[in-house]
Chain A
C-alpha cells in the first residue's frame, strides 16, 4: 500500500509541473481534476488502515475537487460567465517550468529530511505536499486570470492537505484543519462565480483605458 501511495505522490508532483507548463485555462482545469483524483486516491490509501477520517477526506476531495468544482468551472467557461482571458503571465512558459522544477528540488530537499526527522511513515508524501504547495503559490503569482489563480489556489490546497495528512494520518486534527482550508478555497470559487470576477475585471480594464483612472473618487 505504501508503494502505491508513493507512486501517487510522485504523479501528483508531475501533474503540478505539467500545470506550470500549460497556459490554456481549460487544460489547467483538466489537470487540476486529474491531480485532485490522484490526491484523493493517495489520501484514501493512507487512511484505509489507519483512519476513517483521512479515507473520508480522500473521497470528499475526489467528489469536490475532481468532479464538482472542475465541472462548474468548465460550465462557467462554456456559458461565458468567465472568459479565461487576462493579462499575460509575468513569466514565459520555459521559465515557469524551470522555476517549478527548482521548487520541486527545494520541496524535496527541505521536506524529505523533515519526514525522516519526524519519523513520518510515508516519507515521500510530505515533500510531495510541500512541492505542490510551492507550485500552487507560484501559479497564483504568475498567472493573470482569476480562473487560473483559483486553480493555483486549489493546487496549494492539495499540497497542504497532502502534507497535513502525511504528518499525522492517525490523528484527525490536521486533516480537519486542511479541510477547513478547502472550505475557504471553495468559498473563493463561489465568490468568483457569484460576483463574475473576470467580467468585472474586463470592465475595469476598459474603464481605465481612456481615462487612466477608474473614476473621480478613486483618483
Chain B
C-alpha cells in the first residue's frame, strides 16, 4: 500500500506539469486540477482506513510515515485544496476581471496550487523532522509565489513580507531541528534515525538540548502556523492574494503548519515531560487569542478580518494540545478540520462579495440581504461556522477544547479563551449585521444576479458539510479522531 503515499505526492505534481504544458486556459485543465485534488482526498481517506485497520504505513526507508493523524490532516488539506480549485473554475475570468490579474492567472494558479498541494502532502506524511522541514520550505516557496502572482505592488509587498518572516521562521526551525538532532545523536542514534519520530520519542534525549531545540523549532513552525506574535505576515498575505489563494492558504497551509507544531510538541513532551512544551503552547495560544480579539475590533477589510479569525483558530488549536488530555487534544485535531472548512467558505463568500461590490471595505458593503440575497445568506452561514455558533462543527471543537481545559485543571485559561472568543463573535456579528442589513448606497449597488456554477455549489456544499458534521459526526470519523489523538500519545 505504500504506493498510495507516492501517489499522493505524484498526482498533483503530474497535474502541475500537465497544466504547464496545457496552454493559457482550458476548461479541461480546470477540471483536471480539481480531479487531482479530489484524488489526493480519496487517497487520504483510503490511508485513514488502512492505518486504522493495519497501523502505521512506512515507505522510502522511513522518509515517509503515515499514521491516523497524518491521514486525517491529508484529508483536511486535500479537501481545502479541492474547494479552492472548484471555486477557481472560471473565477479568474469574469469575477476577478479588472483586479490587475494577468491573463495567465488561472494557469499560474493551477500550476502553483498543485505544487503547493504536493509539498503539503510530503509535509504531513514525512517520517522525520528533516523531511518535514524540507517540505515546509517547498511549501513556503510555492505559496509565496501564489501570494504575489498578480504582481500588484501591494501583493508584492505582502509576498515579500511573507517570504522574509517565513524564511526567518524556517531558519529558526532548522536551528531547533539541529539541536534535536544533536540530542538524539548524543543519545546513540545515527544518520536518519536521529531525526525519526520513533527515536525522538524514545525518552532518552538530553533534557537541556531538547528544551532549547523545542523553543527554536516551536517559534519557527509557529511562524508559518500564524501564531502570535509571529503572525505579522498573515493579514497582509491573506488580504493581498486572490480569493482562491487566500482560501488555499487559510484552509491548507494553516492546518499543515499546526500539524508540525503538534508533532513537535509530542516529541518534546515524550522526551522531557509535558510541563514546559504544554505551557509554551498555552502561552502562544492565549497570545494569539488576545491579538485576534483586539485586532478584529478595528478591521475594515473583510479579508483581513478573516485572517485574524484564522489566527484565533490557530490559537485555539495549540491551546487544546497545550491543555492535554483526550478531550482537549481530540478537540484540537477536530478543530483543524472544522476551521479549515469554515475559513475556506468564508474566504470564498468574501471573494464573491468583493466581486459584486468591487470593494473589500466592510464600511462600503451594505444591504447585501436585499441586493444580493444568495451571497448574504452564505455570508451569515460562513460567519456562524467560523465563530463557532452551535450546531456548526467549529462549536463542537471549541467546546471540547474548553471543556477539556477545565477538566485538566486549567479553568482560568479556558475561561479566558471563552471570553476572548465571545469578543471575536460579537465583532463578527456587528460587521456582518451591518453588511447584510439595510439598503446599499446608490453609488455602490452590487451586481445581485444569482449564478449557479462551481463556485456557488462549492460554497453550498461546504456550508452544508460544516452544519451536518456539527449535528451528527459519523462513527468512522469519530474513530479517526480517536486514532489521531492516539498518534499524539494521548491517554
Residues of A within 8 A of B (CB): 110, 113-114, 117-120, 130, 133, 136-137, 140, 146, 149, 153, 156-157, 160, 163-164, 167-168, 171, 173-174, 177-178, 180-181, 183-185, 187-188, 191-192, 195, 197, 200-201, 203-204, 207, 214-219
Stretch at the interface among B30-38, B267-275, B356-364, B402-410: B356-364
> Are B153 and A177 in contact (CB-based, < 8 A)?
no
Q: Which of B160-187 contact A (CB under 8 A)?
A: 160, 163-164, 167-168, 170-172, 174-175, 177-179, 181-183, 185-186
> Are A114 and B134 in contact (CB-based, < 8 A)?
no
Contacts of A219 in B (CB 8 A): 300-301, 359-361, 364
- What is the predominant secondary structure among interface residues of chain B facing chain A? helix
Q: List 7 A-B contacts (CB under 8 A).
A: A173-B194, A174-B181, A207-B153, A216-B359, A216-B361, A217-B359, A218-B301
Given that A156-B168, A173-B130, A187-B141 are contacting pairs, would A218 and B174 also be in contact in the complex, using a CB cutoff of 8 Å? no
Stretch at the interface among B104-112, B204-212, B456-464: B204-212
Q: Does B26 contact A (CB under 8 A)?
A: no
Chain A proximity of B145: nearest CB distance (Å): 8
Q: Which are the 7 A-B pairs with shortest beta-carbon distances?
A: A219-B361, A204-B153, A200-B156, A167-B182, A214-B154, A118-B182, A118-B186
> Are B130 and A177 in contact (CB-based, < 8 A)?
yes
How many chain B residues sit at the interface, stated as a range, is: 35 or more
> Are A171 and B175 in contact (CB-based, < 8 A)?
no
> Are B163 and A188 in contact (CB-based, < 8 A)?
yes
Chain A proximity of B233: nearest CB distance (Å): 13
Bound-state Cα–Cα, A136 to B151, Å: 28
> Are A204 and B154 in contact (CB-based, < 8 A)?
yes
> Are B178 and A184 in contact (CB-based, < 8 A)?
no
> Are A133 and B208 in contact (CB-based, < 8 A)?
no
> Are A217 and B156 in contact (CB-based, < 8 A)?
no
> Are B175 and A133 in contact (CB-based, < 8 A)?
yes
Contacts of A146 in B (CB 8 A): 160
Contacts of B154 in A (CB 8 A): 204, 214-215, 218
Contacts of A215 in B (CB 8 A): 154
Contacts of B212 in A (CB 8 A): 110, 114
Residues of B within 8 A of A (CB): 99, 130, 133-134, 137, 140-141, 144, 148, 151, 153-154, 156-157, 160, 163-164, 167-168, 170-172, 174-175, 177-179, 181-183, 185-186, 190-192, 194-195, 206, 208-209, 212, 239-240, 300-301, 354, 358-361, 364
> Are B175 and A163 in contact (CB-based, < 8 A)?
yes
Bound-state Cα–Cα, A191 to B147, Å: 13
Q: Give the residue of B163, B168, B185, B360 whose beta carbon is less than 8 angstroms from that of A137.
A: B168
Chain B proximity of A183: nearest CB distance (Å): 8
Chain B proximity of A206: nearest CB distance (Å): 10
Chain A proximity of B2: nearest CB distance (Å): 22
Q: A173-B192, A217-B358 are in contact. List 8 more A-B contacts (CB 8 A).
A: A156-B168, A174-B178, A174-B181, A177-B174, A195-B156, A197-B160, A218-B239, A218-B301
> Are B182 and A114 in contact (CB-based, < 8 A)?
yes
> Are B192 and A160 in contact (CB-based, < 8 A)?
no
Contacts of A187 in B (CB 8 A): 141
Interface centre among A137, A156, A171, A200 (most CB of B within 10 A): A200
> Are B208 and A113 in contact (CB-based, < 8 A)?
yes
Contacts of B206 in A (CB 8 A): 117-118
> Are A184 and B191 in contact (CB-based, < 8 A)?
no
Contacts of B359 in A (CB 8 A): 216-217, 219
Contacts of A171 in B (CB 8 A): 185, 190-191
Interface centre among B140, B157, B183, B194 (most CB of A within 10 A): B157
Bound-state Cα–Cα, A119 to B178, Å: 15
Contacts of A167 in B (CB 8 A): 178-179, 181-182, 185
Bound-state Cα–Cα, A184 to B140, Å: 9
Interface centre among A146, A177, A180, A218 (most CB of B within 10 A): A218
Chain B proximity of A191: nearest CB distance (Å): 7
Q: Give the residue of A118, A197, A207, A214 whose beta carbon is less than 8 angstroms from that of B185.
A: A118
Bound-state Cα–Cα, A130 to B178, Å: 11
